[in-house]
Amino acid sequence: MAQRIVGGRRLGGELAAVRVYRGRPSPDHQPEAARASDRQADRWVRDPRVVVVRRQLRYPKAWPSEPAQEKGIDVALAVDYVRLACEGAYDVGILFSRDTDLVPALETVRDLGAHVEVASWKGTSRLRFPDSQLPWCHYLDADDYAACRDHTDYTVI
């Protein structure tokens, strides 16, 4: 998906890194899901450009009738996005998320002088600065999804 986004940029560019942020099921609560998540992450990081940042899912007392939740993923993403900009790790940072809590990180990175862009699914809302149509958004559609879909069943060893 990242290569597709970079390949579609009007200004061109080279994909230097991909960072994926997601929750990780607990082996104590969901051993099969945890193993599948681990196998998927292991597959992704075979590409040296990929870093997977995972945080343990939070399980409410009423679990499994109440679903587990990702906690701290958006904060980890925001901190890394800003930290990497401060380190000069990228010229263009493209954030694929609709979480409006990430707008301050986008604004900070823009203010630090890095170029920011976002990606979102066509037909959905996207991140933007208040009272603005910026930053540029890469809208992805069903064809993009189909072209990048991973059909691997990570529950099978």
Tens of pLDDT along the chain (157 residues) come to 999 999 999 888 999 999 999 999 999 999 999 999 999 999 999 999 999 999 999 999 999 999 999 999 999 999 999 999 999 999 999 999 999 999 999 999 999 999 999 999 999 999 999 999 999 999 999 999 999 999 999 999 8
CB atoms within 10 A of CB 108: 16
Q: What is the pTM of this model?
A: 0.91
**Which two structure tokens, joined as six digits, stand for 97?**
């998320």
How far apart are alpha carbons 96 and 118 in whole angstroms?
Answer: 6
CB neighbour burial string for 114-135, b if at least 16 within 10 angstroms, e if fewer: bbbbbbbeeeeebbbeeeeeeb
pLDDT value, residue 47: 97
CA-to-CA dists, residue 96 to 14, 77, 81, angstroms: 17, 11, 12
pLDDT of residue 157: 80
